[in-house]
Amino acid sequence: MEKLRNKFIAFMYGRNGADSLYKASVAVYFAMAAANLFLRSAILSILMWALFIWATFRCFSKNVYKRSLENQAFLRIEEKAARKFKMTKTMLTDKEHCYKKCSHCKAYLRLPKRSGTHTAVCPKCGEKLTVRIR
Ligand SMILES: [Zn+2]
């Protein structure tokens, strides 16, 4: 068993291995497999195979630099989506504040929920905004 383990370690040396993008693609693969239990779609099966081949190729690829760039691009997208999800959750649960987007720099402004028309200054870009809160 130890011999087999050492052979695998020697095989994986210099290869990309399981990074975040690989783990996410495996998760997507299993979600697609679960969906395909009910849908029984040929197109979905082809997409699953393509995803499986691509994920396996990435895992065993020796071009670690290129795979690392792909993984970093994925992590940036994932972080952006997580930040947006968190912001949406905050906006939905926070009942004491009102959230408005700056028209100049697209930053979110957290304003106290007082009805009427107010002037707010964006802390990021300094733009003066006229905000109407109902
Ligand atoms: Zn701004």
pLDDT in tens, 2-49: 999 999 999 999 999 999 999 999 999 999 999 999 999 999 999 999
CA of 121 to the centre of ligand 1 (A): 8
Tell me, rounded to whole angstroms, the distance of Cα 24 from its chain centroid: 9
Look at strands 108-112 and 116-121 and give their pairing. Answer: unpaired
- Contact criterion met (CB below 8 Å) for 54 and 16: no
Q: What is the DSSP string of 44-99?
A: HHHHHHHHHHHHHHHHH-S-HHHHHHHHHHHHHHHHHHHHHHHHHHHHHH-SSEEE
Reported as type and span, the H/E element at residue 20 is helix 20-39
CA of 75 to the centre of ligand 1 (A): 26
- Average pLDDT over the chain reads 95
CA of 104 to the centre of ligand 1 (A): 5
DSSP 18: S
d(CA 68, CA 19): 9
CA of 111 to the centre of ligand 1 (A): 14
Res 83: pLDDT: 94
CA of 48 to the centre of ligand 1 (A): 43
Res 1: pLDDT: 85
Res 118: pLDDT: 93
Tens of pLDDT along 56-107? 999 999 999 999 999 999 999 999 999 999 999 999 999 999 999 999 999 9
The whole-model pTM stands at 0.76
Res 47: pLDDT: 97
Among candidate residues 71, 53, 58, the one with its CA nearest the CA of residue 16? 58
How does residue 109 score in pLDDT terms, banded at 50, 70 and 90? very high
CA of 100 to the centre of ligand 1 (A): 10
Residue partners of 59: CB distance under 8 A and separation at least 6: 15, 16, 17, 18, 22
